[in-house]
Structure 1
Amino acid sequence: MTKSKFVAGLFVSIFVALQIWCSSLIFNFPYIGIYLELTPQQQWVINELDKESASMKLDVKVGDIVKQVDGKLPDEFPAIQKWRIIEQAHTLLISRDGHEYKVEVNINSTTVYDMIPLVEEFVCLFMAALIFIKVRRSPSARLLSAVFLTMAIIYMSLGASVRGDVIGKIAIASFMMVLPIVFYHFLAVFFKEKGNMELSTRILKYLYSISAIGFGLRCLYIFPSMAHSIHYYDGSATLIFFVIVFLFNMYILTILYNKVHKEQSYMSSIIKSVWFSLMISFLPVICISFLPQLITGDRIIDAVYTSWIILFFPISFAYLIASNQLYDIGLVVRRFLFAGLLAILPASLFTGAYAFLFRHVVDEKQILFIFVGVMLLVSTVLYAAEYLTTRLEPFLFPRKYALQFALKKISKNLGTISSFRDLKEIILVDIVSTLQVMGGAIVFQYKNDTEIIYEGEIDTSEVQQLVNSSSLLDHPLYTCMEMNSHEEYTSYLIMTRKKTNTMLAKEERQWLQLITSYLEVSLENVHLIRKLTARLHQFASQLPNENAAQDIQWFRKVMFELQEEERIRIASDLHDTTMQDLFFLKRRISTLADKSTMHQEDQVQLKNMNNFVDMINASLRQSCFELNPHLLKEVGLIQTLKMYLEKESYTTPFELEFQTGNTSVIETKDLHTKRHIFRIVQELLNNAKKHSQASKVKFHIVEKDFCFWLTYEDDGVGFHDRDEVHLKIGASGMGIEQMRSRVLHVGGSFELNTQKGNGTKFTIRIPIEEVISA
């Protein structure tokens, strides 16, 4: 067992034992709340009764003389010896006006000192566990969990402390001193982690040492003769130390803010927000509970109530860290304060109505509790209204949610549109499906022609007639919206009636108008792309024609060189960056998997991850080879093609065959020629995979009659006729046109034999003498 696991196990064991001990006291003994003083006549007299305690239900009064407690003289009862209180007692013998009364303490009900701290403890434990599980790798998050655990122990030990338990009193006082120290420790690590800002941590060892000394002195509580003297000063010393360390935290934050506020950076906003959050959390409990007790010996409001506000600071940080909204802390705080301001009016009205209706039975504490409770509840609801509305929108407003979701999807897809086919398959289909109409169309009206892209059930001939007659916008059966309108064309978006045979609702028309505002720009871009593509194809169609394009041969050469340079650059980037990162990732995963402390299931998952990394690495290696076939120089053209086609045969949907004859001369030629031939084979194979639907593909390479011959054959779907092939090839990316350009560039010839349904055959012939001069 490692040291960290041993320490964690020991802490959990102590925490559980302390929880069991404190809970047993809370539920087995009531909080009696009787405070005594010793008179000069050596009599123990009741001088105070806590209004929140069980003493209010007992027949005791201030001024009563305590004769016996559980059959013992007061001097012999442990709680009176140590703390001058009566707790964990069953019977009292009281003297009043010369008469003695026996009082039975058989009340087992819990009080405010029990229920509120238990709820606060549960909240702290929940937040500590949530932070530790969700962001355990963050040092500041672990310290924030420690803050919550410290607060949980304080709340846990409160019930035992007021019942006169030694362990409870030691725990609550010691952790009260530790709490502001852990807060400062958290802030130091937090600002170092998030903003690389250094706070002095040297003072921490002195603060922790003081709290350790205080803990050691409190351990003397076990000696009755010393307990009262130490406890008399301990409460005030603990509160003074708490206030001083809190002021130190505020002082450090103020200095830190003064250093960075001129930079107008996100850290200045965070520091300011932390300062206000810390002030909001601790100032009420200090000013209303601690300082009045130090100065006058009495509290304005018991710390049991004001301690709730302390939770604001750590809970707000827990929320911001867990939800990755840390750098928006200023915005979050302003939103919450704004929600609090809006909540003042309804909280005041509700509290006033409650106080008026129950004016004979309510007191100030109940009114305060109602007001604060309503404020917090309304503020939280107002703050979370946007989040709740977003989350519940699919259930509360399903149609509105569907339209908004579709709008986001369509607007995202608009960036991928480059043709009218994409316009139909990506956008028009979604619009028709979202609006649940029978059909829809996008109409382009040119000067002498009309083009219609449609989806679903819509009469295109009727739509064309209506567009030409200029009566479409007012047609009762269609919803029509004009989009682009200029000299070259006018475009319309047209929707039929819905499948329920009703027209589009007002909300749906508004949504459609918003869609058209997005479509206007996309349609104009598609139109421009279409014009530029047509011009590019017209220019590219001249490249393979050696006789018609003598003056632009340089363009072909430059294009090939640029392509190869870009491929080599991409391959180098992949090899030097991504593949290296994968190598180091695999080493780190292997190191973690080899740790003996790792669970078996985690080791299996890490090994599976390593295998997946290997698969990615192999795929990237193959991609790098295809981009930059470096083996052409090392092992030659034929061996490189053989290795390439052999690897591809494992992934192709057809049988792949590669045959070679006499190829000795081609291996003596320059690298550029070999690269052209490799690219031709690569392009032929890619076209076969995309379009051929073949069951068998064959490559044959041979040298004869002073020529290099490359033959490609497949038994796929083929093409209708040769002219159509050239047209379609030129309009679909120029893959085969580029092959023809490569062949002509090295002085060869290119022949295509195909027929629809009877496969395709390419024959490429390159004269050896032309290859030599290429």
Structure 2
Amino acid sequence: MLKKVCKRQAYYFVSFVLIAAGVFYYLVTLNHPYIGVNMKSVNGHWIISGIDPRGDGYEAGVRTGDIVLKINEKEPEEFPNLLKWQQIEGASLIEVTKQNRRVSITLPIKTNIVRNLTEIPLQILGFVFWLLGFMAWVKRPFLVQARALFWLNWIIGMAIVLVPASARCIFFARELELICLSIVPIFLINLVWVYPKDSRTRTYNLIRNIFIIISLIIISYIILQSCGIFNNVRLLRSIFTSNLIIALILALGNLGLSLKLPIENKVRNQAGILFIGMVLGFFPFVFLTVLPQLFNVQPIKYSDFSSLFLAFVPTAWYYVIVNKYLPDSRRIFEAIVVSFIQSIILSMVTSYLLYSQKIIKAINIEVFLLTLSFSILVIVIINFTRMITSKLLSRLAFSEGKQTFKQRMLKLNENLVSINEEKGIFEEILKSLGIQGAYIIIENPKRGYLTKAVGTFLENPDQLAELEMYFQSCNKTNLKATILSENLPAEIFIPVNSGDFSCGIFLGHRHSHIKFKADELPLITLISSQLTQRLITTFVIKELSVEIKSLAQRSQDSLRRNQGLQGITIALFRNLERERAHVASEIYDGPLQLGLDLNRWLKHLGEECPMDDKTENAVSHMRELVENLNFELRQISNDLRPTALKDLGLLTAVELLCKDIMLKELSLITLETIGLNREDRFPEEIESAAYRFIQEGITNAVKHSGANKLTIGIEKTEANLELTVKDRGKGFETNKIEEWALIGSHFGIVSMKERVESLGGSLQITSQIHRGTILKATVPII
């Protein structure tokens, strides 16, 4: 909780820092004039390389090409701002050479109030950046996109509010501005790669790390430049300007990739609006202000107005992130193109009128751009005024019809959120819009064809067939809503595509008293798109519900069959153990007893009856054979029914099993137990299954693995008995176990698996070629 509070406080703190810095530096600029003179060193002479026509230096008589001899009656190299930034901000007197004449020029020491007023829009622009980012974070505090926008807008806003003070080289303002601009690419890349879709991949990490390294290099260079260690302002300007332009190109490229998505994808629409906003905002500024500085070209007069276009950038980002429903970006683009063409025509007419009235002497690029900017501003103001007037008139009930229609559409959109049933959705359409009928077609190549009609269309199947033929014949790629001709029964048709679904919505009836207008189609299209998504979701949910019910029924049937098979398996193994016990009893009571009697008679014969050496050897050999037979019969009987398991328990029986196998085979078997005592007893089925699992595991390892060391593990937990058999032998491919079960091969492992699973347990087999095998069985004991 404290961490979240600290994070929120960080946003408020940096916002306060920006506001305080903006106010402080603006107040300081009120007492510092703006000279606006750039210089460069040529052959040991300091020459004026550029001058701002709006600066106090230009008004005092300084011109490009003048050679500066003294600054404040000192050598130019002794003036700090000249060495740092190749500017003479803060100077009050300079001595220059003009046309081989030595001239002293007195610079003003007080600022020009008019110039300070003209810098207020730039300050406001910086605060607009911050404010829109702050409002996006306030409205969507849990969105990572809103937080990314806040930090990008904050850093750009901070750089903008520092511009007036930076131009005057006041109190490290130039250093702070350049540092802010150097890290803008990092925040820009971070924002564009998380919105409109999250594209944070390895490529993103690589690009971000590259920009971080470049920014650190630029910041280091700025610090060294400020300390006077380096003295190459042009190189510094070129590096961080190129860094900004490359980041902008990558950001627009990433948005451009989203524009290749299907038309119905909302990410494409969001990317389209953002792309338009960034192009409108950055292109004039980069073209008229940044590139001339990068290539050391004198910018056109009044080029500072291009910075005002930057307001499009935060506005577009804020609008897209905060608003849930967005207009079609293609319509926005069309409106912008039309407005731009109108501006060009208006600027050409205005320029000609000014020239014909001899207000201007000639029509050049500067005049054209100035009139073009003025024309764009006029058209924006006209459109904005018209929009505001329309809303005011709507509120004053001068456009009651349109207001009622918008209210009905918005009410429909709100009501659809709380309706889940398909029938209720269609009834709400008729009720909210006041129309007589609606017909909706949903087509999907995999899921089939769905049609739903309500209202008057239910009673007219011929009209439905006519509308369906129109839907099939229309171009599925043209997604513009259209007002239908008089010969069709419906009034408007809205096509919508969503993924693999092609949808068509017919609203209203031709003979209804309610008519739709062309300017109402965008809002109808927006609501219809939301409606279609709800219907498709309902349609898919119904199909999934049917499939889920079918799967649940099949699962229950499979469970019942498995339970039946499990019972059969338990019964088979129980009968198998009984048969083993019966056969062992028969061997013990029959052949084994006969063998013991035969052995006694042969012993009696050898002791009581006299015989020659040959006969005595034959009887002795017969006794050895009979003893071996008796041993084998005992061993078979014990394998079929281990008496130690029944009388002494699982642990003792396994110990004896390991000893017997080590006596027969050249193998070392290690037995490890956890939580198991000799006194612990389990149900007969569990002890038998555990014993047979270990017996079969050891037998398989001895026969097939080629290993001479085995490890047996028995662990008793509260609910299970865990058994393991490990070897370091040849190993095998575990994917062949299912194949063995089908062809009847390796019956030992298959029966081992079935025996464990019949008790509700599980068998896990891990094996790799030449790395050994681990058999692990878990048998429940509760």
Normalising to structure 1: TM-score of the pair?
Answer: 0.46
Which of these two proteins has the greater Rg computed from alpha carbons? 2
